[in-house]
Amino acid sequence: MATFESSLKSKLIYVFAINDERHSDCLKIGETTIDEDDGTNLFNNTDALKYAANKRISQYTKTAGIAYQLLHTEISIFVRNGMIMTFNDKQVHKVLERSGIKRKEFEGVTGADEWYCCDLETVKKAISAVKRGESTLHPSEITQGQSPVKFRPEQSTAIAKTRKQFKRGNQMLWNAKMRFGKTLSALQVVKEEGYKRTLILTHRPVVDEGWFDDFKKIFYDSKEYHYGSKNNGEQFGKLEQLAGKGDKYVYFASMQDLRGSEQVGGKFDKNNELFKANWDFVIVDEAHEGTKTELGQNVLKELVKPTTKVLQLSGTPFNLFDDYSEDEIFTWDYVMEQKAKQAWAVDNPYEPNPYASLPAINIYTYDLGNLMSEYIEDEKAFNFREFFRTKDDGTFVHDKDVDRFLDLLCKDDNESLYPYSNDEFRRIFRHTLWLVPGVKAAKALSSKLKAHSVFGMFQTVNVAGNGDEDEENDEALQMVNKAIGDDPDETYTITLSCGRLTTGVSIKPWTAVFMMAGSFSTSAAQYMQTIFRVQTPFTIHGRMKEQCYAFDFAPDRTLRVLAETAKVSAKAGKQTEEDRRMLGDFLNFCPIISIEGSQMKPYDVNKMMGQLKKAQIEKVVQCGFEDGALYNDELLKLTDVELQEFAELKNTIGTTKAMAKTGDIDVNNQGFTQEQYDELERIEKKPKKERTPEEQARLEELKAMSNQRKNAISILRGISIRMPLLIYGAELKNEDEEITIDNFASLIDDQSWEEFMPKGIDKEKFERFKKYYEPDVFREAGKRIREMARAADKFTIEERIERIATIFNTFRNPDKETVLTPWRVVNMHMSDCLGGWCFWDEEFKQMISTPRYVDQGKVTSDVFRTDSHILEINSKSGLYPLYVAYNIYRCRVEEAKKKYGEVGMGFSKSLWDATIEENILVVCKTPMAKSITKRTLAGFRNTRVNAQYYPNLIENISERPEAVVNTFRDGKHFWHINDNQNMKLDAIVGNPPYQVVGGSGGTNDSPIYQYFCKLAKIIKPQYFSFIIPSRWFAAGRDNLLGDFRKEMLSSGQIRKMTSSNDSRYFFPSVEIKGGCCYFLIDYGYNGMCEYKYIQNGIVNCDSVDLKKFDILVRNPKVARLLEHITSQFVSDEQMVESIISSDTPFGIPTNPSYSKKNSFPCKGL
């Protein structure tokens, strides 16, 4: 129906901000009309006023895709001296200008003359001045940077949920993607809760500035709050003084700095006051980084007091989910963001869309394996490491294939769907990030791109490692921004990285990331952090980035990671409608397109569901068979008889706690079906008073089922964690045969079973419990372990060693009798004592892909020769032989290079085979240990490995050492490598067995490592080096360790020794009383010992004359003090310790409740 419009309309003043760099320091003050004024708009910021303002602002911002924030609306009618008056925006502008507030000038833009460099409070005061008839503001009325933050709905929800949760608990996790606004929102929690002492803890010190800026935005009107850090605001001491006077503060600290503190195991006496402070609130930023390590956990334990509230912030907290209940997690993910973006335009048509600037991600997969099948590593993923492998001269080994790949990316024809195939695509992808496998690959690829006919038009920026010009790490961001320039539309760039700029930074013009690194096992957190780099909002010349892209050349890896990211919590083989809905949503907002030839095939829910099983299998493997998915639903319905069987099993092996989680999926660890889980959730959410008796009974039943399953798993875990190593080493007559839960025990000989399985668990007992394992998961997880090991046979020697070490890193230490020496410790021990090529960094914090050389002078040159013979006694994993074999192999490579020049992959493998056939000798206690060692050294290849199973090894070494020595020296009959029956050994290395279980099961267990040391002494190689417990220094049974201690200390032949009072420094999951030590004995040496003592991570070095000691006091400072005291002691009377037994004082065992020596009950002692 036609109508007439009102002739008279009211005016209103509006103020708004645009949150981008160009407008960061200014506000726009404008005016518009309100169509209908019913007299209710005398108040500021009514819905009608905001509607009118948004309608006007949208007219000139919507077409440019600009997101703005409406801050204030006010009717332009006022009363002065009883008269109704009006004002306009020009009067407000004049007051601001006369008060010294500058108008914002935008270069090259005309007509933008209503922007002023001030904050909202100043604008409001200018409006008030106009109403009072004043033409200027008093200087005290002019403020800066004090406009209030307007939180989006999801931010307000996070703040409210956190405050509510903190009323009943002390921890909260924000699983919120990048650009959620975690910093501002977390600080708002501080403000609303009124916390007196707040600590911000992060792994990234560079974000201090960002937190400080956001602090000022939140607390601009709270004078009692102060900010401090080492670089900004107040120092900590000053903040504490202010807190003493009633003020409040927020302090920023880096995890790196706190980890170095003596109080948590670091090396430096610092941060004591910080740890002592009674923190009300701790915010952990980027919580997935470094908080789950031992040092990270130590830091949090010291900071967090019983009443401290903790908020963890992360965009990819996959390793944290298991520590939180559903009520303690707030989630804002990519799908939620894109849904909100889509819904806003419908629900709020005249309001600016705060999500409009966040582009959608599209993922394209190219199956390079179909084009270059020789680089498929294990039927799972493309082997980027091999494909981009370089020669010594820095060029690619597979040079022609790399050329073919680059040409393929820009193949110019009508049907090609590759990203650089035509000019239009090249404009779309004019600024991209390419992730490559390593520094050398990046440097070689940089040269290739610069010389390429198409990619030569792009400026290549290499930020991998030291880049091309040895640029410093902190200059990487500047390098890229400089190459892109002031106008990204005028330049083309490709940034090469192997890790830098993939977390915590934003390069706005990037539109795509190319994933040309990693493997099938790449973590979801790492993957998503990288691809989200290109989702950074970006507007240029009126055009806004609405789409961004990720290109992956390993489709299986893509699907596994994204299935995990969708957080589908189905067990392998189970699919629910909820899972399908979640995946459907994800694919709707993050389409995954498979490029096959000229065809584009989008992945659907069914294809993605097929990836869930692979994802779960991968988690079971990475967790070392600790994951609950290994077990089936039989554990939810145990009968009384079966419960009794578990009780007996628990008495035999106890329970085993899971180690820190390493997986990436939030798994429904109750093991319920989706229906049962939903039922439990529904009843629990109901107030207790409203539950029916039937619901309460059902709740108790479901909880009992869940607890019974958890308890059963904790018992079975003691068996399960031993399985992966046995699967890895198992020898099958037909490699096409699968290892199943039914044939598993039959593949292992009885002696090996007894050695590797818990005491008291024979094969017959195992048969009774195998029914609780999920057959498909067990089979596929076992297959995956062997696939990874088999794939390594195709790698270079260095890559293969890295893969084998990675596999061993997933294995768990079952107990202190079967300690698997970690690859880290092997490298620490061997490089410190023998030297050579080491695969860990100098602080032994992480593996390095290119080994570094450690020169121990004459020792290194004596041991690592092409004609050396090195022996390990009692190998369990083959990692010690792997280290020494690699060092002799490198000697062979250097000799070959002198003769033939470049050593290719085939030639290098023949040199490796020659090394393990001619130089390495290994004695094993069981047939399975022999198989495991062979697998580690030679994989699945038909190469001879000198690994021998020696029956009854411990008994023979302890009772008939001379006979054993003759056998080990016999190169003709025992080793079959030469005709020498009295062969000279150059070195003996390893980690011998430590003890046999004694009668009491406690400290009365008998040490046996001394027999292995005695054996090495009789063999008398030039050098020998073991890692053993340190109890022999001063304690232990004198009849077993007394002579051993005397010989070790009096010989003068211990050239080096390192000890730690905490065995977990070497073996993180195993506690060995008295700690551990490793040493180097040099039979051509007689002198001082280079001694290192490690306490709480601090290394103390000293040169010690061991001959002076009857017992060795491990701390050199204490030893000098004791020496001074005993030099004054002249009495001949016996000391108390000589008449009292250390393990059975006065005839009472030190562990009486488990003692078999006493007939009387001792539990009350």
pLDDT digit string (tens) for 563-615? Answer: 667 654 433 334 456 666 777 777 777 777 777 655 667 766 666 666 667 77
504 or 1013, which is more confident?
1013
Q: How far apart are CA 767 and CA 761, in angstroms?
A: 10
* 106 and 221 part of one domain: no
- pLDDT tens, 272-329? 889 999 999 999 998 777 676 777 888 888 999 999 999 999 887 777 777 888 889 9
Check residue 1092 and give left, alpha or beta (phi > 0: left; psi -120 to 50: alpha): beta
Is 133 inside a domain boundary? yes
* 752 and 838 part of one domain: no
* 1074 and 1121 part of one domain: yes
pLDDT at site 531: 84
Q: Are the CB atoms for 585 and 605 separated by under 8 Å?
A: no
Q: Lowest-pLDDT range, 81-90, 636-645, 960-969?
A: 636-645
Q: How far apart are CA 526 and CA 503, in angstroms?
A: 9
| DSSP state at residue 814 | -
* 1111 and 1164 part of one domain: no
> Quick one: tokens of 688?
């207790």
Question: Model confidence at 381, in pLDDT bands (50, 70, 90)?
Answer: low
Is 1063 inside a domain boundary? yes
- pLDDT tens, 874-911? 999 999 999 999 999 999 999 999 998 888 889 999 99
Question: Model confidence at 999, in pLDDT bands (50, 70, 90)?
Answer: very low
> Residue 8: is its pLDDT beyond 70?
no
| DSSP state at residue 207 | G
Question: Model confidence at 414, in pLDDT bands (50, 70, 90)?
Answer: low
**632: containing domain:** 628-780
Q: What is the mean pLDDT of the chain?
A: 84
pLDDT at site 706: 73
- pLDDT tens, 357-380? 888 888 888 876 566 666 665 545
* 713 and 826 part of one domain: no
Q: What is the mean pLDDT of residues 454-480?
A: 76
* 825 and 685 part of one domain: no
Q: What is the mean pLDDT of residues 111-131?
A: 89
pLDDT at site 636: 76
* 1118 and 1145 part of one domain: no
What secondary structure does DSSP assign to 290-334, as a single string? Answer: TSSSHHHHHHHHHH--TT-EEEEEES--TTTGGGS-GGGEEEE-H
* 394 and 323 part of one domain: no
**Helix, strand, coil abundance in the chain, percent, nearest 5:** 45, 15, 40
H-run or E-run covering 483: helix 476-484
375 or 928, which is more confident?
928
> Residue 30: is its pLDDT beyond 50?
yes
Nearest to 985 by CA among 964, 971, 1004: 971
Q: Which of 735, 760, 780 is the C-terminal boundary of a domain?
A: 780
Q: Which of 994, 1029, 1064 is the C-terminal boundary of a domain?
A: 1029
**Burial class of residue 388 in the structure, from the number of CB atoms within 10 Å of its CB (0-12 exposed, 13-18 middle, 19+ buried):** buried
Is 680 inside a domain boundary? yes
- pLDDT tens, 1005-1014? 789 999 999 9
Is 261 inside a domain boundary? yes
Question: Model confidence at 2, in pLDDT bands (50, 70, 90)?
Answer: very low
> Residue 1060: is its pLDDT beyond 60?
yes
Q: How far apart are CA 788 and CA 795, in angstroms?
A: 11
**Burial class of residue 973 in the structure, from the number of CB atoms within 10 Å of its CB (0-12 exposed, 13-18 middle, 19+ buried):** exposed
Is 1091 inside a domain boundary? yes
Q: What is the 3-state secondary structure (H, E, C) of 752-777?
A: HHHHHCCCCCCHHHHHHHHHHECHHH
* 991 and 1116 part of one domain: no
**What stretches of 110-152 show up as alpha helix (H) in DSSP?**
120-132
The angle formed by the CA atoms of residues 617, 620 and 625, to the nearest 5 degrees, is: 140
Is 599 inside a domain boundary? yes
Domain of residue 1020, CATH code? 3.40.50
Nearest to 250 by CA among 269, 270, 290, 277: 277
| DSSP state at residue 920 | E
> Residue 211: is its pLDDT beyond 80?
yes
Is 361 inside a domain boundary? yes
> Residue 187: is its pLDDT beyond 90?
yes
> Residue 63: is its pLDDT beyond 70?
no
Task: Give bridge partners of residue 462 from the DSSP assignment.
Answer: 496
> Quick one: tokens of 174?
């924000």
* 54 and 125 part of one domain: yes
Number of folded domains that form the chain: 7
Q: How far apart are CA 1084 and CA 1054, in angstroms?
A: 10
> Residue 671: is its pLDDT beyond 60?
no
pLDDT at site 1125: 66
Domain of residue 408, CATH code? 3.40.50.300
pLDDT at site 1162: 47
β-pairing, 1076-1082 vs 1023-1029, is antiparallel
Q: What is the mean pLDDT of residues 1053-1070?
A: 90
In angstroms, the first-to-last Cα distance of the chain is: 97
Nearest to 1013 by CA among 973, 1066, 1053: 1053
- pLDDT tens, 810-824? 998 655 456 689 999
Our CA dihedral for 447, 405, 511, 376, rounded to 10 degrees, sits at: -120
* 107 and 187 part of one domain: no
Domain of residue 282, CATH code? 3.40.50.10810
Question: Model confidence at 250, in pLDDT bands (50, 70, 90)?
Answer: very high
* 517 and 368 part of one domain: yes
Contacts of range 504-508, beta carbons closer than 8 Å, 24 or more positions apart: 504/204, 504/206, 504/207, 504/286, 505/477, 505/533, 506/533, 506/536, 507/431, 507/433, 507/477, 507/480, 507/481, 507/533, 507/536, 508/536, 508/537, 508/538, 508/545
Q: What is the mean pLDDT of residues 1053-1081?
A: 91
**Over pLDDT 70: what percentage of the chain?**
84
Task: Give bridge partners of residue 97 from the DSSP assignment.
Answer: none
Is 995 inside a domain boundary? yes
pTM exceeds 0.85? no
Dihedral sign, Cα of residue 774, residue 780, residue 782, residue 788: negative
Q: Are the CB atoms for 556 and 380 separated by under 8 Å?
A: yes
Q: Lowest-pLDDT range, 148-152, 794-798, 1118-1122?
A: 1118-1122
pLDDT at site 370: 62
Q: Are the CB atoms for 304 and 274 separated by under 8 Å?
A: no
Q: Are the CB atoms for 635 and 645 separated by under 8 Å?
A: no
> Residue 670: is its pLDDT beyond 60?
no
CA distances from 718 to 571, 756, 814 (A): 22, 11, 7
Q: How far apart are CA 29 and CA 116, in angstroms?
A: 8
